[in-house]
Amino acid sequence: METIHYISADLLSIEKINEIISYDLKLELSEEARINIEKCRNYLDEKMKSHDKPIYGINTGFGSLCNVKIAGENLSKLQENLVKSHACGTGDEVPHEIVKLMLLLKVQSLSYGHSGVQLETVERLIAFYNNDVLPVIYTQGSLGASGDLSPLAHLSLPLLGEGEVYYNGFRQPSHKVLESFGWKPLILKSKEGLALLNGTQFMGAYGVYSLIKASKLSYLADLIGAVSLEGFDGRKEPYTDLIHLIRPHKGQVVTAEKMLEFLDGSEIIEQEKVHVQDPYSFRCIPQVHGASKDTIDYVKKVFRTEINSVTDNPNIFVGEDQIISGGNFHGQPLALALDFLGLGLAELGSISERRTYQLISGLRGLPAFLVNDPGLNSGFMIPQYTAASIVSQNKQFATPASIDSIVSSNGQEDHVSMGANAATKTLKIVENLERILAIELMNASQALEFRRPLKSSDFIEMFIKSYREEVPFVSEDRILHYDIEKSIQFLNSFQIDIED
């Protein structure tokens, strides 16, 4: 197994990022990336020697101060002031896993040679990543246009020996950690502060992390749905390929195929049924889960493009001898995609809770609330309440953020994406979905025991056997909070290969 990932112009996929973080690969610049970075920086240095006209962000102020010309001797101070003044984050801290992704994505974007940064700056970001020196960043403060200014300012502060980082499990001043490595604070050159702060790496990192989790939870939604179908003594005809080939949405077809794979060899699914139809939450699994799969696929395409792009401003084109100020930092593509992803995942939770409700309703020969002696025992009555409350919260989180905009910077930045808010709330939906599916698994596995001595498929039986090592059958009332937490941990530890 490789131990190093080389930053280059090769396509960086969601699948590859998952491999990098799963196997803790170290980062290193390819020779191609190194040359592109140095060529761009050298071009900018030469340009500034002979160019006296204002170039936005290089020898001018920022935002609505873009018409204020800055003297050459102050260009380095200008960039340092930019980083410090924009570090205005607040709220919860960004999870460490997402901070690492921010470092990776920022390095990737700077490596193409259109940003004008020093090689030393990119190498220091790589050193932070490789040594788990993780800047303290906050979830609130980005409008998702002009890039993720505030979060990326906090990401960049430690380059200057400012701000705080986590290292060896402790939060500590950046300058102390730099001293321990023998690193000197960087002196930023013209354009560098803006290159570091302009960009979509906060939204991007949240999106990549959520997509990796979403791919796994989509698989688990199918698998747990199959266990629920067995516990409910459902029918398999709704998964027949003939139905889906005459409405061939990709996600729908794939889900139906997956359900039949999970159920292959089951005694329960093959036994004669008394009922003619199942409720929608079982019968329409291919249509509902499939639509969410298609949503995930679309969002992956958006993020695949974004993480292989240059998103700072202005952009430097060495071959064309041009420095152009534009708007690649605007997060609108990500904001819309993140809202869409949140909707798709919220629906997976919504239909999951409905299956849980059906399982506890005393139907199909199952005892009320899936417990012996109902009345004396409340059984699984209240976990459904919990799932319902989380589903309701997800509906609130699924309200689009991208439809909003607030004017900033004295009207110069008069339309923003709010993609950062879309990013943070989508992650909450992801985490909530995992909890909802964990509760469904608790109920489905309990219901399955009331179908004995019949057995499900070998795959489902193996899955449930593994789960039972963590969460045993509920024979009488006990504190189910612990079962829910163990179920969440079980799903969190479940390993699958994601497909890009």
| Active centre residues (catalytic) | 56
Contacts of residue 314, Cβ cutoff 8 Å, sequence gap at least 6 = 55, 56, 57, 58, 191, 194, 323, 324, 325, 326
Which neighbouring-strand residues pair with 134? 166
**Sign of dihedral through CA atoms 38, 41, 46, 49?**
negative
Instruction: Indicate the pairing of strand 164-167 with strand 134-135.
Output: antiparallel
Q: In which region does residue 113 sit, left (phi positive, over 0), alpha (psi from -120 to 50) or beta (all else)?
A: left
Tokens 């479940």 appear where? Answer: 494
Can you read off the two tokens belonging to residue 308? 């292989």
Q: What angle do CA 127, 132, 134 make, to 5 degrees?
A: 95
Q: Note if the bond before 95 is cis, omega within 30 degrees.
A: no
68 vs 469: CA distance, rounded Å: 67
Q: What angle do CA 13, 15, 21 make, to 5 degrees?
A: 105
Q: What angle do CA 225, 345, 422 make, to 5 degrees?
A: 170
Can you read off the two tokens belonging to residue 441? 């698994």
Can you read off the two tokens belonging to residue 21? 């973080």
Q: At what angle do helices 96-110 and 201-231 cross, to 10 degrees?
A: 130
Our measurement of the distance from residue 141's CA atom to the centroid of its chain's CA atoms, rounded to an integer in Å, reads 19
Our measurement of the distance from residue 472's CA atom to the centroid of its chain's CA atoms, rounded to an integer in Å, reads 32
Report residue 140: phi and psi, to 5°.
Answer: -110, 140
